[in-house]
Amino acid sequence: MTRAFGEEHLADDPEDGEEGRLVSDQAGRFIATFDKVCREHSVKKVHQRDTGPEFPRYLRDMLQVVKRYSVKYKKTVGAGRVPEELDVVRLSRAQQRFKKAKRAWQIRMRQKFYSQVADDFCGTRPQVCVEPSALPGVAIFRDGYGEPRPR
């Protein structure tokens, strides 16, 4: 840093004293305001991690099959018996099928999300158009007819 800015830059460090407090206070206010505006315009949304992913019906059915086979396997092992080979094979195949289908679904969802974001930036999706507003740094979302989208 000394090489890039010289010795005088280190002497005028804004992190010290009143200037440092002022800069950190302004940064904190900017972050809070930006977060509030993003949530008002649905740019940021609250995601609840405890609810779990909302799978499509075919993935929920596959997950139920995996759970059914795993319960059967655990009951057999818990009773001190050796599980049948057929049960072990069915469980592993159901797990593999579910894992593969879930991964493909996640990839499709990511692709869909990124294509929607790219379309919003290009302005090709008629449902949502992003336009700069009178306030700097705030975008107004409009529907396909040019009217502001209701919140």
Report the range of poorest mean pLDDT among 6-20, 86-100, 117-131, 134-148.
Answer: 134-148
pLDDT band for position 54 (cuts 50, 70, 90): confident
Question: Which of left, alpha, beta for 142 (phi over 0: left; psi -120 to 50: alpha)?
Answer: beta
- Lowest average pLDDT, out of 19-23, 81-85, 88-92, goes to 19-23
Q: What is the mean pLDDT of residues 18-45?
A: 80
* Cα 42 from Cα 40, distance rounded (Å): 6
Whether pLDDT at 132 is above 50: no
Strands (E), the chain: 129-132, 139-142
pTM over the 0.75 mark: no
pLDDT at 76 over 90: yes
- Which pLDDT score, from 0 to 100, does residue 116 have? 76
The most confident of 17-21, 25-29, 88-92, 144-148, by mean pLDDT: 88-92
pLDDT at 86 over 90: yes
Of 9-23, 31-45, 76-90, give the lowest mean pLDDT range: 9-23
Cβ atoms of 138 and 144 closer than 8 Å: no
* Closest to 142 (Cα-Cα) out of 41, 17, 66: 41
How many Å apart are CA 149 and CA 133, to the nearest integer? 14
Tell whether the model's pLDDT for residue 131 goes beyond 70.
Answer: no
